[in-house]
C-alpha cells in the first residue's frame, strides 16, 4: 500500500503528501507566499478528493470547465471531487495561499469516529457537497493549516493528537457553517466606484479617503480589511485588468499605457510583468492561441 510521505519545501512554498498512517484522509496540504507573479496553475483533478483553498492575501482567479471566479484576500475556493480546475491563463501572482485536499468520508471517520452516526454523516456532508464554492474565510484558517504542517513536520511525542486537533480547528467551524459572505460597506463601494472612474488618471489615496469620509490611515486599514488587499495594489490590479481588456481589443501597448494612467509604456510593461508574469505582447499572444 502506498503510504506517500512526499515533502517539498522551498523558500516560498511548502507542499506535502502526508504519510497515511499520520493523516489517512488528507491527500495533500500546502502553502505558498509569492512576492511576484509565477506561472499559471495547470488544469488538474484530485482523484475523489475535495480541495479547500484559502487566499490570505492578494488576488487570484480559479476556474473549472464551466465558470471562472475571482478571489480576493480572505476568500476561500472549493474544488469538488474529481473536478478539473486551475487558474486558466492567469498566473499565480503576489499572493499568500493555503490549500488542503481530503476525502470527506474518510475524514469524518477519522476525526469524528466516536460521534453518533448522524453527527458523523452531517460532518462529512458539510465538508463535501454542502460546502459553498466561494465563501469568506479568516486568518484562523491559515493559522490552522500552519499548525497542521508544523505538527506533521515536528517531532512531538504527541504528534498524532496535535495533527488531529489542528485539523478539527480547521474543519469544525466549516461544518458549523461559520463561513460568511464578504460584505463591502457603502463607503468602500463608493471608493471602488471612484477608482473605476479614474483609472486613466493618478488616483490619490487621500481623495479615496475623502470619498469614504474617513482619515487616510483609517481608510487604508478599512479598505484592506473589506477587500483583502491594500488600496494601492487594488488600483494597480484594476489598471492591469483594464489593460488586458484593451489589449484584447488590439489597442497598442503605448496607447494602453496612456489610457490606463501609466507614466510610460516601459513602466506599464514592468508592472504588467510583475502581476502577469509575462509582457503585454506575450500575454496577448498566449491569450489568443
> pLDDT averaged over the chain?
88
Per residue in 50-109, pLDDT (tens digit) is 999 999 999 999 998 888 898 999 999 999 888 899 998 888 888 999 999 999 889 988
How open is the CA angle 62-68-70, to the nearest 5 degrees?
Answer: 60
End-to-end CA separation in angstroms for the chain: 42
Residues 25 and 219: their CA atoms lie apart, in Å, by: 43
The secondary structure of 126-185 as a DSSP string is HTTTTS-SEEE--HHHHHHHHHHHHHHHS--TTHHHHHHHHHHHHHHHHHTT--B-----
Q: Are 136 and 74 in contact (CB under 8 A)?
A: yes
Mean pLDDT of 106-117: 88
Residues 177 and 257: their CA atoms lie apart, in Å, by: 45
Write down the pTM of the prediction.
Answer: 0.72
Q: Which residue has the higher pLDDT, 146 or 182?
A: 146
Task: Please tell me the predicted confidence (pLDDT) of residue 1.
Answer: 40
List phi, psi (to 5°) of 20: -65, -25
Mean pLDDT of 111-116: 86
Task: Please tell me the predicted confidence (pLDDT) of residue 76.
Answer: 94
In sequence order, what are the beta bridge partners of 71? 60
The segment with the largest mean pLDDT, out of 105-119, 129-143, 206-220, 234-248, is 206-220
Task: Please tell me the predicted confidence (pLDDT) of residue 14.
Answer: 97
Question: Which residue bears the cell 487621500?
Answer: 206
Per residue in 119-158, pLDDT (tens digit) is 888 888 888 877 888 888 989 999 999 999 999 999 999 9
For residue 171, the number of C-alpha atoms closer than 13 Å in the C-beta half-sphere is: 31
Which of 32, 34, 93, 35 has its CA nearest to residue 61? 93
User: What domains, with CATH codes, occur in the chain?
Assistant: 6-175 (2.60.120.10), 186-287 (1.10.10.60)
* 3 pLDDT tier (thresholds 50, 70, 90): low
Amino acid at each position: 500500500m502506498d503510504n506517500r510521505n512526499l515533502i517539498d519545501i522551498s523558500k516560498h512554498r511548502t507542499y506535502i503528501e502526508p504519510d497515511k498512517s499520520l493523516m489517512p484522509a488528507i491527500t495533500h496540504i500546502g502553502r505558498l507566499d509569492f512576492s511576484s507573479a509565477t506561472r499559471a496553475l495547470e488544469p488538474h483533478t484530485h482523484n475523489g478528493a475535495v480541495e479547500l483553498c484559502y487566499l490570505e492575501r492578494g488576488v487570484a482567479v480559479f476556474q473549472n470547465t464551466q465558470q471562472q471566479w475571482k478571489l480576493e484576500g480572505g476568500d476561500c475556493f472549493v474544488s469538488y471531487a474529481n473536478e478539473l480546475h486551475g487558474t486558466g491563463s492567469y498566473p499565480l501572482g503576489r499572493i499568500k495561499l493555503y490549500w488542503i485536499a481530503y476525502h470527506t468520508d474518510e475524514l469524518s471517520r477519522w476525526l469524528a469516529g466516536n460521534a453518533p452516526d448522524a453527527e458523523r454523516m452531517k460532518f462529512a456532508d458539510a465538508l463535501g457537497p454542502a460546502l459553498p464554492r466561494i465563501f469568506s474565510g479568516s486568518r484562523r484558517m491559515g493559522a490552522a493549516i500552519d499548525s497542521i504542517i508544523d505538527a506533521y513536520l515536528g517531532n512531538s511525542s504527541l504528534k498524532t493528537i496535535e495533527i488531529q486537533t489542528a485539523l478539527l480547528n480547521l474543519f469544525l467551524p466549516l461544518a458549523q457553517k461559520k463561513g460568511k459572505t464578504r460584505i463591502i460597506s457603502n463607503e468602500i463601494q463608493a471608493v471602488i466606484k471612484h477608482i473605476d472612474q479614474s483609472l486613466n488618471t493618478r488616483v490619490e489615496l487621500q481623495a479615496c479617503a475623502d470619498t469614504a469620509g474617513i482619515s487616510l490611515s483609517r481608510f487604508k486599514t478599512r479598505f484592506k480589511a473589506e477587500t483583502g488587499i491594500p488600496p494601492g495594489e487594488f488600483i494597480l490590479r484594476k489598471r492591469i485588468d483594464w489593460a488586458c481588456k484593451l489589449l484584447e481589443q488590439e489597442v497598442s501597448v503605448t496607447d494602453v499605457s496612456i489610457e490606463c494612467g501609466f507614466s510610460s509604456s516601459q513602466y506599464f510593461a514592468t508592472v504588467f510583468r510583475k502581476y502577469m508574469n509575462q509582457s503585454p505582447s506575450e500575454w496577448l499572444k498566449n491569450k489568443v492561441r
